[in-house]
Each structure stands twice: as C-alpha cells, then as structure tokens.
C-alpha cells in the first residue's frame, strides 16, 4: 500500500511539473484569443476543417492502397464442376462469408480444427441429409487427403500473396512477439515524455499513431479473415470432391493421357499430347454431317454419297488455328441407331454440333433426340452438359433456289432468300427448342461454301472454354475410375500375400 507521505510527494511533483509547463499549456488558449481579436478565428477554423478533411482523405486512400497491394483474391469453385456441386459450394461460401476473425484466432489450433470440421460437416450434410452422422461417411484416407491438399493450397497462397512470408520463420514471429512485450513498457514511457516536453507535437503524433494503428489493424483483420476464409474454401472444395466421388489420390493431370474412347483414333498420331476435345456431329441422315466434316477440315476426308455413308461413329483429327487438339466425330443418322447409343455417344462428347437441314420440315426425329439428351443430362446432374450448337445446313436450297448471292443480312433481310433463311432459322429454333443465337446457317456445297470459316468457327471457338471444362470433368471421372480399379487390384494382391503367409505365422 502507498504511504500518505509518498502520495503527498507524488502530488507535489505533479504540481511542480504543471507549473513548469503552464506557459506552454497557455499557448493554445492565448492563440485562440489572439485569433478572435484579429478576426482570423473563422479563417483558422476553415483551415482546420479543410486540413482535417484532406488528412482523412489521404489516410483513406493510403488504407485502400495498402489493402490493394495485398491482392487477397478469394478462391472459387472448380470451373469444371457440374451443377450438382453448386449447392454444396454455396453452403461453403456462406460459411466463409460469415466468419469473424475474433471468433477464430489463428494461434488456436483447436479452434481451427473445429472450423475445418464445421466445413466438412456442412458439405457432408448436403450429400447425406438423412444420415445421423454425415461426417462419418468419410474414409480415413480421404480425410487425410483433404487436410493434405487444403494445407498445400493455403501455403501456396500465403507464399504468393503475402510479401516476404517465405523469409519469416515461426521462431522469428515468436521472438518478435517477446520483443514487442518487452518494448511495450519503454514505448509508454517515451510517449509520456514526448507529451510532457512538447504537448502540441505530442498530441499530433498521438493522432498520427492512432491512424496508423487503425490502418494496420484493418489490414491485419483483412489478412486474418482472408486466411480463415481460404481455409474454409479450400477444405470445402476438397470435401466436395470427396463426397461427390471425384477426389483422386494422384496429383497428375487426368487429361494428360488419352481416354479409351480416343486412344484408337490417336493411335496413328502418338505425338498428340493428352486427351483431345471430342466434337460430336449429330442429326438425321443426309442432313450434311459428312459434308460438315469436310468443310471444317478444309479437305475431303469423309465420304459423301446419295446413301448414308457413315455406318457408325467415325473420328477425324481436326487441326485449326485457335482450336486445341480435337477429334471431329461423325455419326450415322438418328434413325440408324438406338437411343442408348445416342446417349452414350453424347456422354463422351465435349461439344455437340447438331446438324439440321434448312429445307426439310420433318424435324420430329431431331426434337425427340434432343429431348432425350436434355432428359438424360437433367437426370444426371453430376455430369456437365456439353455446349450444343445447331448447324443449319443447305440454306442454298431454300426458295428462290436460283438466287445465291451471299452474304445475307438476317437481322434486316431485304431479299427473298434472306427472308426465307431468317424464317427457317426461327422455325428451327421453335421446333427444336434451342436459342436462336445458338443456330448458325451455313452452306456446305462445293463452290458455294458460306458462313463456315467465319460465323461457324467463331461460334465453335466461343464455346471452346465451356467444352474444355466438360473434357476436364470427363477425364477426371475416367482417371478416378482407373485409379479405383488399380487400388482394388493392389489391395487384393496385398490381401492375397497376407493370406498366403498366414499358415507360416500360425506355426
């Protein structure tokens, strides 16, 4: 307990300090009186407000610039995911968005593990809504794989987005923390001395320190929030991969090798890297599918005859500027094969070109085939639907047949041929229930080719990114099935060796 004499002595020392600083403390009051007597008080007040506004504006700009330099971009879902994973990702994103860094300190490993468990449970409940403990539907190897991949991704993001993070060790952080605690007392004494020696300068520096601390605190909160959100997003992403059955244990690119569906077509050209883009041509017999193969290839490759020339699926190598390695797969007419064959061929396609003749009105077969495809993809949301482009062929055979003077303006047709082409396009859009912007009218006749190298190629290249996502998912599913078969075989061989050695161990 402090003695009365020591308390009286302290008050006297404070009184002595105050008397010594009285002239300095009187300066602001005397200055205000002088400004008022000389009529400059309002000018001073205006200057004060203007400088304050300018200072706060500069501080706001500096804070925004500091945050922008961090480039803490959030990660998103895998672009090749099918629609079935969108709802699961929405739950992960909601959990990440509502995070408060104060509730999940980065130094508390138990809390971070709890956050990871909450993320996996949210995904597990989406895929197993009726299970009592959906988290238990996860195997131990898959759980370890999630932790491994999430930690790897977050570590890479920290290295790439936070400056000098690769040069700071954990020991450095602990040492800095110990130094900060030791220096805190000396800093408080220095602040008190600065205020005593020069009150005006001390007040200004205190205000500046507060602004810097607030800016640093805001930036620190942003980094902590981003780290927590990335932990949730990365963990949720791989949990979705696990519960949807797509997570692989291998790290190689699943599209680096050809799938069985493309291996035969690529056997003659082993130099082609990876799995090509599979472009499937569908439509009725004599709609112009084989002629479209020749037009897109720029040479005579598919036979064109009065009778249907393609007895089964037949792939052709397609090489054009701007297009990745691709296979153009010709098919027989829709009436020449079963619906099961149609659905199977579409499931192995990354882009579908539906060929329809403009001068033919019997489109019921085309509509039935398209409806079957739509129903099949709707029944399998775990698959990604390939983009579909309708190619309206034989537009030169529309009336008046004798007129053929392209190009034709279909937005504002001013000639009978252009009006008939526009009407045919609108009729096909209605009959097949496809968007008009996904229909490209072309002429494939020798000497009359029109709209192939410009409009049709532009439409194909515009859909290449979506087709690549379908290809990625298709290759991933194929690689996962092959990995599971190899793993089962390895497990069976291991079990066989254990059983073979069991009699010796029992002796």
Same domain for 53 and 104, yes or no, is no
- 493 in a structural domain: no
Contact 219, 64 (CB under 8 A): no
Same domain for 304 and 406, yes or no, is yes
Tens digits of per-residue pLDDT, 344-402? 999 999 999 999 999 999 999 999 999 999 999 999 988 999 999 999 999 999 999 88
Tens digits of per-residue pLDDT, 188-227? 555 555 555 445 445 545 555 555 555 455 566 777 888 8
Round to whole Å and give the CA distance between 390 and 440.
Answer: 6
**pLDDT value, residue 307:** 47
Round to whole Å and give the CA distance between 70 and 91.
Answer: 27
Same domain for 54 and 92, yes or no, is no
**pLDDT value, residue 130:** 85
Distance of CA 471 to the CA centre of its chain: 16
Please tell me whether residue 210 adopts helix, strand or coil conformation. Answer: helix
Same domain for 450 and 358, yes or no, is yes
Where does 198-277 have alpha helices with state H?
199-243, 260-266
Same domain for 88 and 57, yes or no, is no
**pLDDT value, residue 129:** 87
Contacts of 135 (CB under 8 A, 6+ apart): 117, 120, 121, 124
**pLDDT value, residue 5:** 44
- 16 in a structural domain: no
Residue linked to tokens 């040069």: 167
- 467 in a structural domain: yes
Same domain for 461 and 332, yes or no, is yes
Same domain for 299 and 446, yes or no, is yes
Residue linked to tokens 């291996």: 263
Token digits of residue 311: 């007895």
Same domain for 56 and 92, yes or no, is no
**pLDDT value, residue 225:** 85
CATH number assigned to the domain comprising residue 420: 3.40.50.300
Q: Domain of residue 52: give its range.
A: 42-71
Same domain for 318 and 463, yes or no, is yes
Round to whole Å and give the CA distance between 116 and 83.
Answer: 24
Specify the number of domains making up the chain.
3
Same domain for 138 and 237, yes or no, is yes
**pLDDT value, residue 482:** 83
Residue spans of the chain under pLDDT 50? 1-9, 69, 197-198, 200-201, 204, 215, 306-307
- Helix %, strand %, coil % of the chain (to 5): 65, 5, 30
Please tell me whether residue 390 adopts helix, strand or coil conformation. Answer: strand
- Helix (H) / strand (E) element for 194: namely helix 170-197
Round to whole Å and give the CA distance between 176 and 466.
Answer: 49
Q: What are phi and psi of 356, to 5 degrees?
A: -135, 130
Please tell me whether residue 450 adopts helix, strand or coil conformation. Answer: strand
Same domain for 225 and 282, yes or no, is no
- 76 in a structural domain: no
Same domain for 61 and 101, yes or no, is no
- 248 in a structural domain: no
- 316 in a structural domain: yes
- 342 in a structural domain: yes
- 321 in a structural domain: yes
């Amino acid at each position: 307990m402090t003695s009365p004499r020591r308390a009286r002595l302290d008050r006297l020392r404070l009184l002595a300090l105050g008397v010594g600083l009285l002239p300095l403390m009187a300066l602001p009051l005397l200055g205000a009186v002088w400004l008022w007597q000389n009529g400059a008080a309002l000018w001073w007040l205006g200057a004060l407000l203007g400088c304050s506004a300018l200072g706060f504006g500069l501080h706001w700009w500096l804070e925004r610039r500091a945050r922008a330099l961090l480039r803490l971009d959030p990660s998103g879902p895998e672009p090749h995911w099918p629609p079935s994973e969108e709802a699961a990702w929405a739950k992960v994103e909601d959990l990440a968005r509502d995070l408060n860094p104060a509730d999940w300190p980065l130094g508390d490993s138990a809390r971070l593990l709890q956050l990871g468990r909450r993320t996996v449970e949210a995904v597990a409940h989406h895929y197993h809504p009726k299970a009592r403990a959906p988290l238990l539907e996860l195997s131990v190897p898959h759980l370890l794989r999630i932790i491994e991949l999430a930690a790897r991704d977050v570590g890479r993001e920290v290295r790439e987005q936070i400056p000098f993070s690769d040069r700071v060790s954990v020991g450095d952080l602990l040492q800095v923390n110990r130094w900060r605690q030791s220096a805190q007392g000396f800093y408080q004494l220095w602040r008190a001395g600065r205020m005593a020696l020069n009150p005006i300068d001390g007040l200004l520096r205190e205000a500046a320190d507060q602004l810097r601390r607030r800016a640093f605190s805001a930036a620190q909160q942003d980094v902590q929030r981003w780290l927590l959100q990335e932990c949730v997003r990365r963990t949720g992403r791989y949990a979705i991969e696990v519960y949807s059955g797509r997570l692989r244990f291998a790290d190689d690119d699943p599209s680096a090798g050809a799938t069985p569906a493309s291996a035969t077509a690529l056997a003659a050209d082993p130099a082609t890297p990876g799995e090509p883009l599979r472009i499937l041509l569908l439509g009725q017999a004599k709609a112009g599918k084989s002629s479209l193969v020749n037009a897109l290839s720029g040479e005579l490759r598919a036979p064109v005859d009065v009778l249907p020339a393609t007895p089964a699926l037949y792939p052709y190598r397609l090489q054009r500027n701007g297009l990745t390695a691709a296979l153009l797969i010709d098919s027989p007419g829709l009436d020449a094969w079963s619906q099961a064959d149609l659905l199977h061929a579409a499931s192995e396609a990354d882009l579908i070109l539906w060929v329809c003749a403009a001068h033919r009105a019997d489109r019921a077969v085309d509509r039935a085939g398209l409806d079957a495809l739509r129903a099949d993809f709707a029944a399998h949301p775990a698959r990604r639907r390939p983009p579909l482009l309708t190619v309206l062929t034989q537009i030169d055979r529309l009336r008046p047949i004798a007129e053929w003077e392209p190009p034709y303006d279909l937005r504002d047709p001013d000639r009978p041929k252009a009006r008939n082409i526009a009407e045919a396009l609108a009729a096909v859009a209605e009959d097949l229930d496809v968007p008009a912007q996904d229909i490209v009218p072309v002429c494939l006749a020798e000497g009359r080719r029109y709209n192939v190298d410009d409009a049709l190629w532009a439409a194909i290249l515009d859909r290449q990114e979506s087709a690549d996502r379908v290809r990625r998912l298709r290759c991933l599913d194929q690689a996962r099935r092959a990995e599971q078969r190899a793993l089962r075989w390895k497990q069976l061989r291991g079990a066989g060796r254990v059983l073979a050695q069991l009699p010796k161990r029992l002796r």
